[in-house]
Amino acid sequence: MCGIWALFGSDECLSVQCLSAMKIAHRGPDAFRFENVNGFTNCCFGFHRLAVVDQLYGMQPIRVKKFPYLWLCYNGEIYNFKQLQKQFEFDFQTLVDGEVILHLYNRGGIEQTASMLDGVFAFILLDTANRKVFLARDTYGVRPLFKVLTDDGFLGVCSEAKGLINLKHSTSLCSKVEPFLPGHYEVLDLKPSGKVASVELVKFHSCKDEPLHVACDTVEALPSGFDLETVKSNIRVLFENAVRKRLMAHRRIGCLLSGGLDSSLVAAVLLKLMKEININYPLQTFAIGMENSPDLLAARKVAAHIGSEHHEVILNTEEGIQAIEEVIFSLETYDITTIRASIGMYLVSRYIRKKTDSVVIFSGEGSDELTQGYIYFHKAPSPEEAAEESERLLKELYLFDVLRADRTTAAHGLELRVPFLDHRFTSYYLSLPAELRIPKNGIEKYLLRLSFEDSNLLPKEILWRPKEAFSDGIASVKKSWFSILQDYIDQQVDDLLLEKAAEKYPFNPPKTKESYYYRQIFEKHYSGRSSWLPHYWMPRWVKATDPSARTLKHYKSATQE
């Protein structure tokens, strides 16, 4: 996890512009470099480094003697770089996984490069010989990327929007800063003036498609067919493989553990594999919640079962409320459920940074979207509509859960690893018949649970524990975190302000005092940027006025039984 930043065709002094690059310094606390591009005095790269792989030669932009005309700035991890190096006999100059991007590009161009990378990434690749700039982002947008491109060809690119919004430019109105779409690459022409012109934006991978890099995966062809035993075995093999490849790190590995199915599975498989490869330190797991909250109690049970070195962070209501503004600044969103869930994750990440030496943090993001884990999937009209909804949620992850997971950890210089969003695992799961993937017997994620039932990885009561939203599970059963937030905010926002909310904020107007409060803070830091969130996250097929699972009838009936 790093922070990348680049400008092409700047009219303003670069020494002034580079102050914007410092807005993302939290993403790379180990080192910083600012470098001009030879022959293009108004083009430059900025890089904040978190040293996780090759601590000696890992600074960026990466340049190698073999390709002196290529400049690469990337944020991410390429898990199959060694397999690619072996298959194509690449001669590496460093131990950096990202160096493979330069070799792939030289061998087959940008389309093959983006398609063959098994990992999470956002990168800027400059080819001065052919006067091209390339931008690319992984399938689910696990690594963030924003850009701004003006009509006269000034381009700014950054890991977070906050590194672009204050850039200076000669035109009176700077074009809008926007997220770069996941699963896409863009080709831009670089003019002698240093300005650029967009040539094409190409979608190189869809979540349902088996990725091209399967050809050089460590797991070979899987048994075909949809009989239940074959499917369960394939799910276990691919998930274990997803965790195994993410063990690539020179820094200590830890794991977030809410006690829910997803993070518990990740932690259990992770610890098992760490033992297999003789990692000689205990796995640290981290839970956050109020005293005796459902998440804390469940996480404690999982940690005892798997044998991790477990840390509990007790959430103090006042501390959580005080963190709201810095959380919204970090997130760059005003989405209600994202902010609620981010507060706990932000505070536990702060604890990890201050109190431990774990830096590479595994987490369970992506499972709810992939395996139909949200409570409202029980109300899906048909298996086919449930499958469509699952794909929609995956495509929008970069606006919600993946955004939350990246920003809350990156704010404290941690690197996130999310095995549930492994390209091969997700494409296999989405290839299964829609009927197999829906909730069964009143239990969501039924197929995933069933696949691990005989593995003894987790206690049965955890494997079959009903869904708890992270922002709800960290609170007590008696009072949800969202209702605690609402009680506080009710005192902060006047009724009259809410009545006139649609006049003040015509796009995505706030409907509650809570959403109004978040929007006010967002506009304070990112005025006029409300289009970054196309719509609020809300359950479907139910008449929901609040995104919390605890407001849904299914949750109430389940907890009252």
Strand 155-158 relative to strand 132-137: parallel, antiparallel, unpaired? Answer: unpaired
Query: Which residue spans of the chain are classified as CATH 3.60.20.10?
Result: 3-203
Cβ(146)–Cβ(177) below 8 Å? yes
Structural contact between residues 42 and 179, judged by C-beta atoms closer than 8 angstroms: no
pLDDT of res. 9: 93
Q: What is the pLDDT of residue 558?
A: 45
Q: What is the mean pLDDT of residues 44-62?
A: 77
Task: Please report the pLDDT score of residue 552 as a whole number.
Answer: 55
- How far, in Å, CA of 126 to CA of 123, rounded? 10
How far is residue 370's CA from residue 345's CA, in Å, rounded to a whole number?
A: 21
Neighbouring CB atoms inside 10 A of 453's CB total: 13
Q: Which residues contact 90 (CB under 8 A, 6 or more apart)?
A: 84, 100, 103
Identify the pLDDT of residue 360.
97
Class of domain 3-203: alpha beta
CA distance 106 to 110: 9
Active site residue 2: yes
CA 388 to chain centre: 21
Has residue 402 got a pLDDT over 70? yes
Mean pLDDT over 353-361 rounds to: 97
What six digits make up the tokens of 325?
Answer: 């503004």
Is residue 288 a known part of a binding site? Answer: yes
Separation of first and last alpha carbons in the chain: 44
Marked catalytic residue, from 2, 44, 73, 174: 2
Q: Beta strand 252-256 with 284-289: parallel, antiparallel or unpaired?
A: parallel
Judge whether 183 and 203 are in contact, CB under 8 Å.
yes
Is 19 annotated as ligand-binding?
no
**Residue 256 marked ligand-binding:** yes
* 500: confidence class by pLDDT, cuts 50, 70, 90: very high
334 close to 519: Cβ distance less than 8 angstroms: yes
Reported as a pLDDT band with limits 50, 70 and 90, residue 353 is: very high
Tokens 């902010």 -> residue: 339
Is the four-CA dihedral 368, 184, 106, 76 of positive or negative sign?
negative
Among the CATH numbers 3.30.70.1560, 3.40.50.300, 3.30.2310.20, 3.40.50.620, which is that of 219-553? Answer: 3.40.50.620
On the question of pLDDT at 556 being above 50, the answer is no
> Cis ω on the peptide bond leading into residue 433 (within 30° of 0)?
no
Average pLDDT over residues 336-344: 95
Quick one: average pLDDT of 105-115?
Answer: 97
User: Which of these, 466, 515, 479, 497, lies nearest to 340 by C-alpha position?
Assistant: 515
Distances (CA, A) of 393 to 140, 163, 179, 389, 397: 10, 27, 17, 6, 6
**Is pLDDT at 46 greater than 80 in this prediction?**
yes
Percentage of residues of the chain with pLDDT beyond 90: 80
Q: CB–CB of 28/59 below 8 Å?
A: no
Residue span(s) of the chain under CATH 3.40.50.620 come to 219-553
Q: What pLDDT is attached to residue 560?
A: 41
Dig out the tokens for 387 from the structure.
Answer: 């499958």
Lowest mean pLDDT among 171-185, 306-320, 321-335, 445-459: 171-185
Backbone angles phi, psi at 190, to 5 degrees: -100, 120
Lowest-confidence region among 1-5, 42-46, 133-137, 439-443: 1-5
The pLDDT assigned to 15 comes to 85
- Total-model pTM: 0.94
Average of per-residue pLDDT across 55-84 = 90
Mean local confidence (pLDDT), 167-179: 78
**Residue 363 near residue 416, CB atoms below 8 Å:** yes
Tokens at 343, concatenated = 């507060």
Query: What does the block give as tokens for 374?
Result: 């949200």
- Comparing 303 with 543, the larger pLDDT belongs to 303
For the cut 60, the answer to whether the pLDDT of residue 549 exceeds it is: no
Q: Please choose, from the candidates 557, 488, 551, 543, the residue with its C-alpha nearest in 3D space to the C-alpha of residue 517.
A: 488
Find tokens 């987790």 and name the residue: 458
Least confident of 120-129, 142-151, 342-351, 467-476: 467-476
Tell whether 364 is in a known binding site.
yes
Provide the mean pLDDT of the chain: 92
Instruction: Tell me which DSSP letter residue 118 carries.
Output: -
Task: Tell me what pLDDT residue 476 has.
Answer: 58
Q: In the chain, what percentage of residues exceed pLDDT 70?
A: 93
d(CA 3, CA 309): 30
pLDDT tops 80 at residue 62: yes
Report the distance separating Cα 293 and Cα 276, nearest Å: 33
Q: By C-alpha distance, which of 45, 46, 41 is closest to 9?
A: 41
Whole-angstrom CA distances from 258 to 239, 287, 294, 348 are 19, 5, 9, 11
Mean pLDDT for the stretch of residues 138-145: 98
Q: Write down the H helix ranges in 357-445.
A: 367-370, 383-395, 401-410, 423-431, 434-437
CA distance linking residue 311 with residue 299, whole number of Å: 10
Q: Which residues of 31-60 are buried (b: 16+ CB within 10 A; e: fewer)?
A: ebeebebeebebbbbbbbbbbbbeeeebbb
pLDDT, position 559: 43
Mean pLDDT of the region 443-465: 95
**pLDDT: which is higher, 546 or 74:** 74
pLDDT tens readout for residues 289-329:
988 888 899 999 999 999 999 999 998 889 999 999 999 99
Reported as a pLDDT band with limits 50, 70 and 90, residue 376 is: very high
Q: Which residues 6+ apart lie within 8 Å of 366 measured at CB?
A: 140, 394, 397, 401, 402, 418, 420, 421, 426
Angle at which helices 513-525 and 481-490 cross, to 10°: 80
